[in-house]
Every structure is written in C-alpha cells, then in structure tokens.
C-alpha cells in the first residue's frame, strides 16, 4: 500500500469508526477480564480461608472437650492423613513451635512465624489471622492461618495455593489464546458495521459527484436506511429542488430582463433611425431627445426597482428600524396620489385609527403603500373608490386596500407577485410588473404576510399583515 493510499485510508470515517470500535472493545474486554480474574482469585482465596477456619475450629473443639493430649494425637493424624500441600504447627503464645508436621514439603522448611499475626490474636483478641506467604525454594504461594485454640496454644496451618494458581494460569492462558482472534473478529465486525452505516452517505456522495459532472436532475434514491441517513438524503434532495427552482427562476428572470430591456432599446433605436433618415429638422431632434430621456428614465426606474427587490429579499442595506405611525404614512401616500385619483374621479376613503405604531424602515413602508395605492387607482374604473382600512391585531397591524376596479382573473392570482408578471387586461396600461414583487419582498422583511381576493370587473382587495 502506498503512503498516499495509507493516508487516505487513515482519513476515512469507516477506518476511524472501526478503529474506535475495536479500541473500545479491546479496552472494555481487558477491563472485564481483569475484573473476572480478580473475582476468581478472591473467591478461591475465600474458599481456602473458610477451609482453614473449619480446621482451626475443629481442633479447638477437640481441645476443649478432650484435652491437650488428645490434640496431639489428632494433630499427628491430621499430618498423616492430609496431603503434602499443607503444613501444620502448634505454637505457644511467644511463637515457639511446639509441634510441627509437613513443613519440610515447603522449600527448606523454614517457615517464618509472623509477629503481626500473633499480635493481632493475643493483643487485639482476633479469633484468626491470615497471611499469604512466599517461601524460599517453594514455587507457589501459601495461605496461612493462625487461630487460638486455647489461651496458650495457637494452631498454625498453611495450604499451598498451587491449585488456585494452576486454575488462574489456565484461565490466563485461555484468554491469551482467544484474545487475538476475538479482537480480529471485533475489528472485522466494526469494519462491516461502519461500512453498512456509511453506505447511505456514499450514495449521497455519489449523487453529488454525478450532479457536479452532469445534470441537476439526479436525486438520491428514497430507500429505508437509517433515520439519520434518510434525513440527510431527503435534505440533500430538498436542497437540489431548491437550487433547481432558483436556477429556473434566474433563467426566467434573465429572459424577462432581456425582454424588458430590448423593448425600450428597440424603441429608442427606431426613433433615432427615423430622425436620422428624416428631414433633420430641429423639432425632430428635440422630440428624439425627449423620447430618449423618457425611455432612459423608465429603464433606470426598472433597474432600480429590480435592485430594490433583490436587496430587500437579501436583507442588505438594512437601516436602523424606527417607530412609524402607520396612519400618517398612509395619509401622506394618499395625498401624493390624490391628483392622479382625481384625474380618474376615484375616491380615496380611509378608515385609520390613531396612533398605530410599527417599528421598521420608513422608506420601505412608503414604497409598499404607494405601490398598492398606485395599482388600486391605475386598475380602477372611472368614478370608482379605493378604501384603505387599518386595524391593530394581536401581534401586529392588519391593513386592507380594496378597490372597485377591473379585478384579477382567478388564473392570474397565483402569479401576480412574480417578477414581470402582468395580467392581459392591464398590458395597455403603464407598468413593468415589478411593483407587487417589491411589495411582497417588503412584507416578508416585516415578517408579515400578503394575500389578495379579487373578482373580475368588481374589484380587488389586498390584505396585508405586518409584524
């Protein structure tokens, strides 16, 4: 394996998950085996101690019933009958060995009498004292008991721990033989689990690669995998849907912008051409200049509105919000549009309670009201009315702008907030189809909502909620 391949493998999640899994498995297994080992040695030691206590108690009972002579007989019988892995001693209180048996089986037979054990029996009145001895020239540890069988005699007995040690060694050897294959198996299981868990991620990655090389139409297949992976896949697919929609909208917008720019430019070019090929009178040139200025103004306004929409949607150029009196803003917008309304004999009716205050960007709110008011007058009939009413709602302000104009056909209603969308009947009137897009962007910036109800030839009502 090359160094690069090795590094790549090291950086893969599957490899690291396997490594962590195996290490955790090894550590917990070692800890469990260690605890088991300790537990087994503790239990075997306890069993040995229990046996030693029984022996001491038996001898003490004989001594109290039948006297010291009988003890000697019993002691010698014990020495004869028990195996060679035990030694027996009768000690006086000062540790002098009164009688002993089988000590020669333990190394050179020089088994030390423990002062500490004698002290704990004689001074601290303990019934028994235990010790684990390592005896020179003897290969195994020895468990030793000291127990007072009369006020002057202490019975001292030791049992080799050879069997327990052999048992524990067998256990350790078994663990050592099995541990490597077990750990390899754990690593293999860890690797398979990691591969299985990350399979979904690989599918998402594969789809992303395909998308980066081709079309946006591919999606991660919907399958029942793990919850997290399914969520990742569905979020990824949703993100793709959103990107696709955005790209489609951008394309449409490009087409619309190109179309909107081409018409006035074609018009300007036409006027210039006619003027050039005409009789060259000053009047023609003056008219051409005036037309060009008007077309340019329209174009500038169109571009500015488009920029305003984009900026409002993106939330850039945010000004510090200030408290705004909604009534005042609407009334000043009405004053501004009064002359246009009068031209069309449209009556502006307002129903606005005093002191309804909202915090926000003044200019944006002015654009919102003037766009809606302009439409309500522009698409109204001669002698019609526009009614503007405002009311306070639990967590904001509700505004209603109702007109008695041409109305909006049902099939157009879902599209009127789209950029450059204009209903067929309004094409004869001035406009670029951007006003309501800006209105919607402003309402969104106020965390609000806008909807419309309309009936052709009877009028339209816009409901706005600002927060």
Instruction: Name the site residues for ligand ADP (rule: CB under 6 A).
Output: 375-376, 379, 403, 405-408, 416, 421-423, 426, 431-437, 460
For ligand ADP, the closer CB: 139 or 343: 343
Quote the least distance from Cβ 340 to ligand ADP, whole Å: 13
> Strand pairing partners for 128?
147
Using Cβ positions, the residue closest to ligand ADP within the complex turns out to be 431
Instruction: In angstroms, give the least distance from the CB of 409 to ligand ADP.
Output: 9
Is residue 378 within 8 A of residue 401, CB to CB? The reply is no
Residue number, 148 or 416, with CB nearest to ligand ADP: 416
Of 16 and 259, which has the nearer Cβ to ligand ADP?
A: 259
Q: Are 62 and 75 in contact (CB under 8 A)?
A: no
Query: Minimum distance from CB of 14 to ligand ADP (Å)?
Result: 54
Output the smallest distance, CB 429 to ligand ADP, in A. Answer: 7
Beta-strand (E) ranges in 57-167? 86-92, 97-101, 128-134, 141-148, 153-160
Nearer to ligand ADP, 147 or 435 (CB): 435
CB of 316 to ligand ADP, least distance (A): 22
Least CB distance to ligand ADP at residue 352 (A): 19
* Choice between 99 and 400, CB closer to ligand ADP: 400
Structure tokens at 236: 């990824």
Q: Residue 87: which residues within 8 A CB-CB, separation 6 or more? A: 100, 101, 102, 103, 105, 106, 111, 142, 157, 158
d(CA 118, CA 126): 9
- Give the position of tokens 């005093």: 354
Cβ(454)–Cβ(425) below 8 Å = no
- In 278-346, alpha helices (H): 282-314, 326-343
Round to whole Å and give the CA distance between 367 and 365.
5
The residue behind tokens 């509700």 is 398
- Of the pair 295, 328, the CB lying nearest ligand ADP is at 295
Task: In angstroms, give the least distance from the CB of 408 to ligand ADP.
Answer: 5
User: Residues 318, 361: contact at Cβ < 8 Å?
Assistant: yes
Smaller CB distance to ligand ADP: residue 48 or 305?
305
């Amino acid at each position: 394996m090359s160094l690069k391949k090795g590094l790549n493998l090291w950086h893969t999640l599957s490899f690291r998950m396997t490594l962590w899994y195996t290490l955790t498995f090894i550590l917990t297994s070692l800890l469990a085996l260690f605890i088991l080992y300790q537990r087994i040695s503790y239990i075997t030691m306890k069993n040995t101690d229990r046996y030693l206590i029984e022996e001491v108690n038996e001898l003490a009972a004989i001594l109290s019933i039948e006297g010291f002579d009988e003890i000697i007989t019993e002691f010698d019988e014990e020495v004869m009958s028990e195996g060679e892995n035990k030694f027996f001693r009768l000690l006086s209180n000062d540790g002098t060995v009164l009688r002993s048996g089988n000590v020669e089986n333990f190394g050179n037979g020089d088994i030390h009498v423990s002062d500490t054990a004698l002290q704990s029996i004689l001074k601290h009145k303990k019934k028994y004292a235990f010790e684990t001895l390592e005896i020179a020239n003897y290969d195994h540890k020895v468990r030793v008991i000291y127990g007072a069988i009369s006020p002057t005699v202490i019975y001292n007995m030791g049992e080799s721990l050879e069997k327990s040690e052999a048992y524990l060694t067998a256990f350790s050897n078994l663990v050592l033989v099995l541990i490597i294959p077990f750990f390899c198996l754990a690593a293999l299981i860890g690797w398979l689990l990691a591969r299985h868990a990350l399979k979904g991620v690989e599918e998402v990655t594969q789809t992303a690669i395909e998308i980066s090389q081709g079309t946006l139409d591919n999606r991660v297949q919907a399958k029942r995998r793990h919850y997290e992976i399914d969520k990742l896949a569905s979020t990824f697919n949703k993100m793709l849907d959103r990107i696709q929609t955005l790209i489609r909208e951008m394309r449409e917008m490009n087409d619309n912008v190109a179309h909107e720019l081409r018409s006035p430019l074609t018009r300007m070019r036409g006027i210039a051409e006619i003027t050039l090929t005409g009789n060259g009178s000053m009047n023609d040139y003056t008219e051409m200049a005036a037309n060009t200025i008007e077309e340019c103004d329209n174009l500038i306004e169109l571009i500015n509105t488009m920029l305003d929409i984009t900026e409002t949607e993106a939330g850039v150029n945010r000004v510090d919000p200030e408290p705004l009196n909604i009534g005042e803003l609407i009334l000043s917008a009405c004053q501004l549009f009064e002359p246009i309304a009068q031209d069309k004999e449209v009556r502006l009716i307002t129903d606005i309670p005093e002191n309804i205050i909202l915090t926000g960007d003044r200019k944006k709110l002015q654009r919102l009201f003037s766009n809606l008011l302009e439409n309500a007058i522009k698409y109204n009939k001669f002698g019609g009315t526009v009614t503007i009413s405002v009311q306070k709602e639990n967590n904001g302000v509700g505004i209603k702008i109702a007109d008695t104009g041409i109305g909006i056909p049902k099939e157009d209603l879902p599209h009127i907030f789209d950029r450059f969308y204009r209903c067929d009947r309004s094409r004869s009137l001035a406009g670029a189809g951007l006003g309501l897009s800006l209105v919607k962007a402003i309402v969104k910036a106020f965390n609000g909502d806008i909807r419309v109800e309309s009936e052709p030839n009877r009028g339209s009502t816009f409901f706005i909620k600002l927060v």
